[in-house]
Amino acid sequence: MKDDKEQVVILGLETSCDETAAAVVTDGRQVKSSVVASQTKLHEKYGGVVPEIASRAHIEKIYPVIQEALDQAGVGRDDIDAVAIANQPGLTIALVVGVTAAKTLSFMWGKPLIAINHLHAHLQSALLGAEKLELPAVALIVSGGHTCLYECDSPLELKLLGSTIDDAAGEAFDKVATILNLPYPGGPSIERLARKGDPKAIDFPRSLLGKGSLDFSFSGIKTAVLYHCRGQDMKGQNRVDSMNEQEVADIAASFQAAVIDVLVKKTRRAADQIGARTVLLGGGVAANGTLREAIEHMCAGSRPPRALLVAPKRYCTDNAVMVASLAYHKYKAGLFADLTLEPKATG
């Protein structure tokens, strides 16, 4: 390991879902390169990610993406101090591609291997530009496959406070977009249309679960949108086909408002429970402008006001910068993996 005065250069890899990504980051903060090969076009006709298609695309893209990241950063194998890989959670068939590539490079280059939790890396995205983290802090990670709340004492000290018991928020966005005949991915499509709609037009349910619960449930609101469009017995035609744009926009806006309302209330509840001085926000859905504004308003309205650290939009969706950045802290702590490392669907 290098001493504290020397720069640490880490190559990070990410293949947990449908983005093949590589990045070179120095000292956990200086982004030397970030390359992401998106698979959106491959999956859009299915309305969601098809694991087998994702895996094949990762196999095709992983090494060209790594080489491009190294070239953009102007570094070679001798400059890299460690190879980091997000090995959990995610689609196992996709994760295995990145894990295999990372283990291969670690072995061939003689570099330490660092295993990263994908969700913890999303939290790290919110810390990238932070000069100071006022503790205690609560972190909301909201993405396509996960919606979680953590208590954060440091990048390596996280305590899970709550998670989704069914559909994650991003998954609900994708499914509702399909109901509304909107293109994949659903989050950006609904956000764009919702700007034209009335968020109070339809009173969709807010599932807060039990008193004090920090878990999430978005299956009910998805079903409520489905019933609104097709009737309670599900035997009618999709009414969206005969709606004008304003009517569909009202549904989109009302759905989005309900989801964001739950996310904000749960985050406030968690912050109040632990006496948080800071709120962190990351994950793909964190790119939603209405959510960012609502969380900001909540933090400003707290007494005393809470600091808010939000991941830059370019690092909200899956990327390898967050992997390499978090890996720096594990490198300094000497937390390395060995070549028996395996992908894990959960984590």
- Report yes or no: 184 and 47 within 8 Å, Cβ to Cβ: yes
Q: DSSP assignment, residue 328?
A: H
The answer to whether position 264 is within a domain reads: yes
Same domain, 141 and 47: no
SS3 of 62-131: the string is HHHHHHHHHHHHCCCHHHCCEEEEEEECCCHHHHHHHHHHHHHHHHHHCCCEEEEEHHHHHHHHHHCCCC
Same domain, 96 and 202: no
Give the rounded distance of the alpha carbon of 53 from its chain centre.
21
Q: What is the predicted pLDDT for the residue at 5?
A: 60
What are the tens digits of pLDDT across the range 111-123? 999 999 999 999 9
Same domain, 111 and 154: no
Sequence letter at residue 232:
Q
Is the pTM higher than 0.75? The answer reads yes
The answer to whether position 4 is within a domain reads: no
The answer to whether position 340 is within a domain reads: no
Measure the N-to-C terminal CA separation of the chain; round to a whole number of Å. 28
> Quick one: pLDDT band at residue 235, thresholds 50, 70, 90?
low
Q: In the predicted model, what is the mean pLDDT of residues 264-290?
A: 97
The answer to whether position 176 is within a domain reads: yes
What are the tens digits of pLDDT across the range 55-105? 999 999 999 999 999 999 999 999 999 999 999 999 999 999 999 999 999
Same domain, 40 and 60: yes
Same domain, 160 and 300: yes
Q: What is the predicted pLDDT for the residue at 206?
A: 94
Q: In the predicted model, what is the mean pLDDT of residues 147-158?
A: 95
Same domain, 205 and 228: yes
Query: Over pLDDT 70: what percentage of the chain?
Result: 97
Q: What is the predicted pLDDT for the residue at 238?
A: 77
Q: What is the predicted pLDDT for the residue at 3?
A: 65
Averaged pLDDT score across all residues of the chain: 94
Residue 230 has pLDDT above 90, yes or no: no
Same domain, 143 and 62: no
Q: How many CB atoms lie within 10 A of CB 245?
A: 10
Same domain, 63 and 155: no
Q: In the predicted model, what is the mean pLDDT of residues 327-333?
A: 97
Q: What is the predicted pLDDT for the residue at 234?
A: 65
Q: What is the predicted pLDDT for the residue at 4?
A: 64
> Quick one: pLDDT band at residue 2, thresholds 50, 70, 90?
low
> Quick one: pLDDT band at residue 263, thresholds 50, 70, 90?
very high
Same domain, 280 and 147: yes
The answer to whether position 190 is within a domain reads: yes
Same domain, 266 and 169: yes
Q: What is the predicted pLDDT for the residue at 1?
A: 67
The answer to whether position 78 is within a domain reads: yes
**Whole-number Å distance between alpha carbons of 257 and 264:** 10
Residue 144 has pLDDT above 90, yes or no: no
Q: In the predicted model, what is the mean pLDDT of residues 299-318?
A: 96
The answer to whether position 142 is within a domain reads: yes
Query: Over pLDDT 90: what percentage of the chain?
Result: 88
Same domain, 31 and 110: yes
Q: In the predicted model, what is the mean pLDDT of residues 245-263?
A: 98
Structural domain of 169: 132-310
The answer to whether position 208 is within a domain reads: yes
> Quick one: pLDDT band at residue 33, thresholds 50, 70, 90?
very high
Q: In the predicted model, what is the mean pLDDT of residues 308-334?
A: 97
Residue 330 has pLDDT above 70, yes or no: yes
Q: What is the predicted pLDDT for the residue at 194?
A: 98
> Quick one: pLDDT band at residue 48, thresholds 50, 70, 90?
confident
Same domain, 242 and 265: yes
Residue 44 has pLDDT above 90, yes or no: no
Number of domains in the chain: 2
Angle ∠(210,212,217) on CA atoms, nearest 5 = 50
Instruction: Give the CATH number of the domain where residue 217 resides.
Output: 3.30.420.40
Kindly state the helix (H) or strand (E) to which residue 14 belongs, with its residue range: strand 9-14
